[in-house]
Amino acid sequence: MGQDFGEPYCHQGNIPDIEFGWGHSCSEFVPPVALMGPHAAALGMKFYTGHMFPAEYRDQILVARHGSWNKSKKFGGDIALVKLNKDGSVKSVEPFITGFLVNNNYIGRPVDVMNMPDGSILISDDWNGAVYRVTYGPKKIVAQ
């Protein structure tokens, strides 16, 4: 079978669809290289190519997980960092920016990420109709 990763017969590489999965095994299909979580809606992703953030982030993948909409316990609503091994396989999926999901309610829903020429990143949020610029640098203490 093709590189459809099992859709509509098998979800995320290991869950047969209750309606369309009959007569198919998930092992028939190419599995995904990483699991993004249940109903995470990974909408946008970019390799970080800038130099503002520490070297450990360079050439790793930033993923905007829009989040679930119809689950009683919401998931996603964050930016995940997919770290890669030297051979390109997935080493880990970790939180990079969280806080869009508070007390099981969205206060923002990331859609995409974009590298800027100065090394910062932009995150679009369709919940608030906003774009956030994220930078990295030394902490500054401001006297009150």
Confidence of residue 1 (pLDDT cuts 50, 70, 90): very low
pTM: 0.83
Q: How far is CA 52 from CA 45, 57, 79, 115, 121, in A?
A: 18, 10, 17, 10, 9
Q: Which pairs count as long-range contacts for 54-60, CB under 8 Å and 24+ apart, including other chains?
A: 54/136, 57/81, 59/84, 60/84
With contact defined as beta carbons under 8 Å apart, do 79 and 63 qualify? yes
Q: Does the structure show a pLDDT above 70 at 140?
A: no
Do residues 39 and 104 both lie within one domain?
Answer: yes
Query: 35-90, pLDDT tens digit by residue?
Result: 888 778 889 999 999 999 999 999 999 999 998 888 889 888 999 999 999 999 99
Do residues 63 and 8 both lie within one domain?
Answer: no
Do residues 62 and 101 both lie within one domain?
Answer: yes
Q: Residue 127: inside a domain, yes or no?
A: yes
With contact defined as beta carbons under 8 Å apart, do 46 and 113 qualify? yes
CA dihedral 21, 91, 89, 77 (to 10 degrees): 50
Q: Residue 98: inside a domain, yes or no?
A: yes
Q: Does the structure show a pLDDT above 70 at 108?
A: yes
Mean pLDDT rounded to a whole number for the chain: 90
Do residues 105 and 129 both lie within one domain?
Answer: yes
Please report the sign of the dihedral spanned by the C-alpha atoms of residue 73, residue 76, residue 78, residue 82: positive
Q: How far is CA 82 from its chain centroid?
A: 8
